[in-house]
Amino acid sequence: TDLSKIRNFSIIAHIDHGKSTLADRLIEFCGAIEARDMKAQLLDNMDIERERGITIKAQTVRLNYNAKDGETYQLNLMDTPGHVDFAYEVSRSLAACEGSLLVVDASQGVEAQTLANVYQALDANHEIVPVLNKVDLPAADVDRVKTQIEDVIGLDASDAVEISAKTGLNIEGVLEAIVARLPSPKGDREAPLQALIVDSWYDAYLGVIILVRVFNGELKLGQKVRFMATGATRELDRVGIFTPKKVAVDRLGPGEMGFVTAAIKDIRDTKVGDTITEERRLAEKPLAGFKPSIPVVFCGLFPADAADFEHLRDSLGKLALNDASFQYETESSAALGFGFRCGFLGLLHLEIIQERLEREFDLDLITTAPSVVYKMFMTDGTVLEMHNPADMPDVVKIDHIEEPWIKATIMLPDEYLGGVLALCTERRGIQVDLTYVGGRAMLVYELPLNEVVFDFYDRLKSISRGYASFDYHLEGYREGDLVKMSILVNAEPVDALSMIVHRSQAEYRGRQLCERLKDLIPRHLFKIPIQAAIGAKVIARETIAALRKDVLAKCYGGDISRKRKLLDKQKEGKKRMRQFGEVEIPQSAFIAALKMG
Ligand code: GTP
């Protein structure tokens, strides 16, 4: 196709502002699918995504649009995830396009993720077309939101496209704006092949599918290609596009997007951001790739039933096939037995993986407290990266510890400002900026990530009654006065409950955890002390009183079936107990204790 007739674009938006609905309408309008074939939200493949309404994997669709100028344009739509945990996936989708539609809910206005995504699009040199969605809602305030876009983002919003993705109002206006206002791609068909790997995933039938954007040259069926980063060579056995159905084509030229397969079994062989070139005529250098996504939050995942360990290993392996940013390795804990230490891009990523394991693989899991990656500067000059509080070296060998800090943007109605400022201060935050735009406050804070992974987001939502939006990026490492807090039950340390905390927070967190455990651990025939300690120093303590009555005593005289039921229930409970010295701790106690908040 003639380059001037191609437009590559992505849709960026805050969660729930209508990105997927608009994508569906664009697909429908261009007649790529019959309306009756439309499932709700075509671009979201996974069930969990559909239920949670979060787009995880970037996807692309080719549309043919007959524009009012009489020409037919090839529009390649890249879907992008909206959530902060997947910022990296956003950046790589953006690198494959020349422009973005910025969707803003006209009844809500600019939110934290709107901003974060716009900055990324500007970084990628995108032309941006603002789209005001949900104008059908009575609460829509087009003028206010236009002013906001101009004041907060600095984009000209005078010719923003006003639409309702839900009713289908003015979808053609969006398509015309794409053609008229977004640039066409550049590229040279005669030059040596350079195609960027935008994404890759494992498909049970086709093996690894590679999503590509061709910059120069052509990708052809049967072509022998080389992956420049790994040096591997392969023959392409499929070249195609998504409409969104997979459709075979014989070639992809400059400016085009599509997919290829080459009998590859392991997605780790197809590094996202790598350049594909032709074996016979190698490109001089690779395209600028992406920064790799690095897990920032770690936690232990243990099977509730030890017999499920192998099943858990298998399941993790399957998930990792489609998620190169998810990491895991075996870990053993005195408290929880054998399990895995897992690395995630953020808390949402953690939750999604955990949920998929429980739902798709029918696993019952115990998750330990999430932890960030600390840098330990040792007295002998070495630096250790620590992913697990259990690995904390002897304190006398540590010179100092550094922890990751983030820069967070929070947008909220100003009546909740007081509460949110207090929360940020409590979490050791440093205020960088505070501005007001149209009745809303925009707050910029530096915060230790360690204070955010606990329950920051939940607290923020409850303080602001759900009206605050939040986005962050990593800033770097800073020294902190951090200590390891251990929890002892009946004088036995419970490794799964130990955590790294700031010294100033240790007592509060210790007390909170001890109080909670006191209610969660059932009484035994003896008194059980529960303590939080830093080294040998106890900083908080609770005691569980001894148990007196036999639980069966109540049933004397009662009918036998009731008694049996009770015994069965106890047996069932037993399976889910963990033994610590003489104390049995139910699995539910771990789960509840680890859910800080
Ligand atoms: P994520 O995938 O979670 O990022 O959300 P999204 O931005 O893709 O939003 P989505 O398209 O799922 O829409 C969110 C909600 O807004 C859905 O309940 C839609 O039905 C609704 N919605 C989308 N567009 C409109 C619109 O124009 N008007 C109204 N009234 N509702 C809309």
Q: What is the DSSP string of 350-409?
A: HHHHHHHHHHHS---EEEPPPEE-EEEEETTS-EEEES-GGGPPPGGGEEEEEEEEEEEE
On whether the CB atoms of residues 15 and 226 are closer than 8 A, the answer is no
Report whether residue 11 contacts ligand 1, using a CB cutoff of 6 Å. no
Q: How far apart are CA 402 and CA 387, in angstroms?
A: 13
Is the distance from the beta carbon of residue 170 to the nearest atom of ligand 1 less than 6 Å? Answer: no
Q: For position 56, what pLDDT does the model report?
A: 44
Q: Residue 581's CB: how many other CB atoms inside 10 A?
A: 10
Give the per-residue pLDDT at 72: 94
The C-alpha atoms of residue 290 and residue 146 are separated, in whole angstroms, by 33
Q: What's the pLDDT at 202?
A: 80
CB half-sphere exposure, 338, CA atoms < 13 A = 10
Position 522 scores a pLDDT of: 83
Give the side-chain half-sphere CA count within 13 A for 254.
16
Residues with Cβ within 8 Å of 110's Cβ and at least 6 positions away in sequence, in order, are: 14, 104, 145, 148, 149, 152, 153, 411, 437
How many angstroms is it from 474 CA to the middle of ligand 1? 29
CB of residue 21 inside a 6 A radius of ligand 1:
yes
Mutate to test the pocket of ligand 1, among 19, 21, 163 (most ligand atoms within 8 A of CB): 21
Which pLDDT score is estimated for 479? 96
The per-residue pLDDT for 94 is 86
End-to-end, the C-alpha distance of the chain in Å comes to: 56
User: β-strands 6-13, 72-78: how paired?
Assistant: parallel
Assess whether the C-beta atom of 48 lies below 6 angstroms from ligand 1.
Answer: no
Ligand 1 pocket residue status of 50, Cβ below 6 Å: no
What are the beta bridge partners of residue 411?
442, 469
| Number of CB atoms found within 10 A of residue 95's CB | 22
Please give the distance, rounded to the nearest whole angstrom, from the Cα atom of residue 165 to the centre of ligand 1: 8
Q: How far is CA 6 from CA 70, 177, 180, in A?
A: 15, 13, 11
pLDDT of residue 7: 97
**What is the pLDDT, as a whole number, of residue 296?**
82
The residue ranges of the chain whose pLDDT is under 50 are: 53-56, 58, 555, 574, 596-597
Q: Ligand 1: which residue has its CA nearest to atom 14? A: 16
Q: Is 19 in the pocket of ligand 1 (CB under 6 A)?
A: yes
pLDDT at residue 5, rounded to an integer: 96
- Global pTM? 0.71
Q: Does the structure's ipTM exceed the value 0.90? A: yes
Helix/strand/coil for 341: strand
Q: Is 169 in the pocket of ligand 1 (CB under 6 A)?
A: no
Kindly report the CA angle at 96 between 94 and 97, in degrees rounded to 5?
Answer: 70
How many residues does this entry show for the chain? 597
Ligand 1, closest atom to CA 167? Answer: 27
User: How, if at all, do strands 233-235 and 224-227 pair?
Assistant: antiparallel
Q: Which of 10, 11, 16, 117 to probe ligand 1 with, by most ligand atoms within 8 A of CB? A: 16
Per-residue pLDDT at 571: 52
Instruction: Determine the atom of ligand 1 nearest the C-alpha atom of 137.
Output: 30
Angstrom distance (rounded) from CA 181 to CA 345: 34
Check residue 354 and give its pLDDT: 87
CA of 209 to the centre of ligand 1 (A): 29
